[in-house]
Amino acid sequence: MEHGQLHQNPQPQVRNTLKIVVSDDLPASALELLRAEGWQVDARSGRSPADLAVDLADADALLVRSATKVTKDLLNAAPRLRIVGRAGTGVDNIDMTAASGRGVLVVNAPGANSISVAEQAIALVLSLARMVPAADQAMKAGKWEKKKFLGTELRGKTLGIAGLGRIGQEVAIRARSFGMQIVAHDPYISQEIAGTLGVELLSLDELCQRADYLSLHLPSTPETKHLFNDARFAKVKRGIRIVNTARGELIDEAALKRALESGAVGGAGLDVFEKEPPTDWSLAQMPSVVATPHIAASTEEAQELVGLDTAAAVRDFLRDGIVRNAVNFPSIHPEELQRLQPWIRLSESLAAIVSQMGPARVEGLGLRYYGSLADSRATDVLASSAAAGILRPILSGGVSIVNARQAARERGIEIVESRSTRSRHYTSLVSMKLHTADGERWAEGTVFEPNSPRLVSVRGVNVEAALSGTMLIICNDDRPGVIGEVGTILGKHKVNIASFALGRNDTGAVGILNIDEDANAASTLEKAIDSIKQISGVREVWLIRLPQSYS
């Protein structure tokens, strides 16, 4: 078994009865890999949903790219389906809730196109430095304009990389061969990994102020949407050149256009856009922009490798019960998994709390299990759930409790688990510490009957609170009047308190407020928090948003 793989005992199957449906185009090598097992492979693209549902009635596996929409209705039409393979990274076209509910494994092919995307990023950097597209266009128009296209060398220039994951690391390796200095921003990459690449880690503001070229490799999340806007462009090094092969939503395109017109940004290489194809072509048509139609992963090699990786994952599961690159399946006996579900939710919620206690570079994650929970042989899934809770909001590519440990290892985040049978006033307890460059964050929780995860301690202060929705955690001096002022401020800003819990010891007090958050009133809540921070005696205030699926 390859390192990092998981095993599940497969259901006995008669080899020649397995049917694999491939509904989008895959390379011939991927199809041959499946046919070599003696299985029936029905590979036809362009089927209607109704026709595909008929063909899936007796299918064991379905392989798709992005065109096929794997809906709940489609899954319900496939009673024998055991696995869906997505030839690519994103799984937005698959109803993950329905798949998990049906017990259908979903696997993808993360990282198979990393080299191709990294090479496209470098190609755009070179195109901006040497004005290759514009020079080629002039030549095709019969114009010899040698003096017009005076370029610059990459040697000695600083490349900033926002997001030092698989692709960002490949970009760094290639850029160094041009003699560039490499700096990066990624709070989830350790100093050790960055050091092996010869990369200096910086804050995003520092990165933008130092970089001559900036290559974006961040996921699309609510936090990263329009991360590069007017305010950000006002603080970048003047003349910076920006390359985006990640997600169009990272950049406010109207703001980028203004920055290009003013000279704050010297050029842009864009492979992705907010709307594809664009409805407004003015940005892509600017002379200082090199634009391509989302082709960074479109190479023969990447498409071949993505198809092969996906087919191999499907084959290994059906033939040997090996689970690779899964996005929705822990390797645990179903009965044990059912018993651990509330503890899985608890672990992710605790991770959400400690990870939202301010920005900091994550270095390690520690979990200690107390009481009867310490006797379980399947508690490693709790650590995986916690790691997923920390990494999922900031990573693309389907981070789950199956692959969260690997994702953590790739970022130099150490996960340590320990057990104790010592009584802690609860039948079972999870104690979680997040080790960061700025110190430790500590929270503990348990599960009340029937299946209610509860927070029972923050920073060593015992305080019991429901784990749901939006929370405010306030650390303050233990003196009269503080909580009253908090309530007055929230009332003034029309923020409703759903519940309140207070804990205290000789170090101070901790208040936990579960609040009703209107999605349209985020700015009002921020103003309320700013006011709370000004209260005498208040030390720290954290806004915590727990995963909606667990609220």
Which active-site residues does the annotation give? 247, 276, 294
The C-alpha angle with vertex 86 and arms to 80 and 92, in degrees rounded to 5, equals: 105
Contact 401, 365 (CB under 8 A): no
Q: Output the six-digit token pair for 534.
A: 């000004």
Contact 245, 299 (CB under 8 A): no
**310 alpha carbon, distance to own chain's centre:** 20
C-alpha to C-alpha distance for 318 and 33, rounded to whole angstroms: 13
C-alpha to C-alpha distance for 462 and 150, rounded to whole angstroms: 66
Of the candidates 304, 278, 301, the one whose C-alpha atom is nearest the C-alpha of residue 289 is 278
Kindly provide the residue ranges of all beta strands, DSSP E only, lying in 166-324, ordered along the sequence: 181-185, 200-201, 213-216, 240-244, 265-270, 289-291, 322-323
Q: What is the dihedral of CA 185, 186, 189, 191, to 10 degrees?
A: 30
Q: What is the dihedral of CA 55, 87, 326, 323, to 10 degrees?
A: 80
C-alpha to C-alpha distance for 244 and 250, rounded to whole angstroms: 8
**Which residue matches tokens 């990994």?**
193
Is the previous residue joined to 450 through a cis bond, with omega within 30 degrees of 0?
yes
H helix count then E strand count, the chain: 17, 24
Helix (H), strand (E), coil (C) string for 176-190:
HCCCCEEEEECCCCC
Assign residue 371 a region (left: φ > 0; alpha: ψ between -120 and 50; beta: otherwise).
left
Kindly provide the residue ranges of all beta strands, DSSP E only, lying in 337-449, ordered along the sequence: 362-371, 414-420, 428-436, 439-448
Distance set, CA 540 to CA 476, 499, 530 (Å)? 7, 19, 11
List CB contacts of 474: < 8 A, sequence separation 6 or more: 486, 510, 511, 512, 513, 532, 538, 540, 541, 542
